Amino acid sequence: MSAPATEPAVAIRNLTVVFGGVVEAVDGVDITLERGQAVALIGESGSGKSVTLRAIMRLNPERKTQIGGEIRVAGQDVMAMSPKALQALRGRAVAMIFQEPLLALDPVYTVGQQITEAIRQHERISAGAARQRALALFERVRIPSPERRLDAYPHEMSGGMRQRAMIALALACRPQVLLADEPTTALDATVQIQILLLLRELQAELGLSTIFVTHDLGAAVEVADRIAVMYAGRIVEEGSARDVVLDPHHPYTIGLLRSRADGALAKGTRLKTIPGSPPDLANRPPGCPFAPRCFLAEERCRVEAPPYVDVQPGHRAACWRTEAAHAAFQADKAAVAEAVV
């Protein structure tokens, strides 16, 4: 069932994900993905990006996970779905490119068998027709010798080849929504940009709506219309890709940008890093979770959680000191822009 034209491709409201009753991996996340749009989730490891992505398809382990809030995909209430309905949703309406394809692909079947099986699971077509579509997808993601690679097992392919095969598998049933969990991790720098451009091209051609998880700000700028910055299970800043990168208002976003400013650093200059480590999510500190690492933190930050503030139309940040953060960024704005954009 397709979503009405006026309804977002993905609408997440007040999403919470708790593991084992104690670890608050995601805490009150709101995400709206419009049809045909790409949103990038960025942040350090452990910030909740991949957990959020998996929650959209309800892939987190059911027994150990408590999920709250609202998740709507392609006009359907994911939280209310039965296991059978979820199986029909996955692959057809929404598909995922996993970060580690060697773990996602079944080692005892050829890659071609796995793609053709996925196609036939959702569509009534012959094995031959499904194989032809798989071959076309391999050609599209630029896998050399695609016909021979269809009959290869995952362990017989390089990491880059497996990741491309994973992208082909995700696109096999022509989903409306594509979730990409660091899809270029296993690729070298030259191939990374090719895959990013390919994803952008496929998004435009197929009308895909994409949520893209990455650590790489350069990749986020390349593929995303909007960027959401996550920290300790919360979105701390969100806006257009241009606004977040060139006009940030949260100290954590500024810290991430400064840590990328290698292109403009003079030889021998020490890179600006974010001190400390992310908080223990089983013992979340009061106030703003970034306060212990923040160069602008004051007493209020340590005791009271900041609300979201609209810093400009379509651009918000959860910080008590957005104006001070924005002013602090201006000093090295040119250096950061050169390194990231």
Distance (Å, whole) CA 238 – CA 244? 7
| Amino acid at site 317 | A
First-to-last CA distance in the chain? Answer: 39
Residue range 262-315, pLDDT digits in tens: 555 566 677 778 999 999 999 888 999 999 999 999 999 999 999 999 999 999
pTM greater than 0.85 = yes
The percentage of residues in the chain with a pLDDT greater than 70, rounded to a whole number, is 93
Check: CB of residue 66 under 8 Å from CB of residue 17.
Answer: yes
Helix axes 127-140, 159-171, angle to 10 degrees: 120
User: Which band of pLDDT confidence, cut at 50, 70 and 90, is reported for residue 334?
Assistant: low
User: Which band of pLDDT confidence, cut at 50, 70 and 90, is reported for residue 96?
Assistant: very high
- The pLDDT, as a whole number, for residue 98 is 86
- The pLDDT, as a whole number, for residue 1 is 47
- The pLDDT, as a whole number, for residue 336 is 58
Distance (Å, whole) CA 166 – CA 183? 9
Domain 1-93+182-224 has CATH 3.60.15.30: no
Look at residues 155, 160, 153, 158 and name the one whose alpha carbon lies nearest to residue 113.
153
Alpha-carbon radius of gyration of the chain:
21
For 163-177, what is the mean pLDDT? Answer: 90
- Residue 311, classed as helix, strand or coil, is strand
Distance (Å, whole) CA 134 – CA 119? 9
What are the tokens at 333? 């704005």
Has residue 8 got a pLDDT over 90?
yes
How do 209-214 and 38-42 pair as beta strands? parallel
At residue 242, what are phi and psi to the nearest 5 degrees?
-65, -45
The percentage of residues in the chain with a pLDDT greater than 90, rounded to a whole number, is 66
Query: By mean pLDDT, which of 36-50, 162-176, 196-210, 218-232 is the weakest?
Result: 196-210
Residue range 43-56, pLDDT digits in tens: 998 899 999 999 99
Residue range 218-234, pLDDT digits in tens: 888 888 999 999 999 99
What are the tokens at 8? 């977002």
Has residue 167 got a pLDDT over 80?
yes
Range list for CATH 3.40.50.300 in the chain: 1-93+182-224
Strand positions, DSSP E, 126-176:
none
- The pLDDT, as a whole number, for residue 266 is 60
For 107-119, what is the mean pLDDT? Answer: 95
- The pLDDT, as a whole number, for residue 265 is 56
| Angle, alpha carbons 59-15-299 (nearest 5°) | 130
Compute the mean pLDDT over every residue in the chain, rounded to the nearest whole number.
Answer: 89
- The pLDDT, as a whole number, for residue 134 is 95
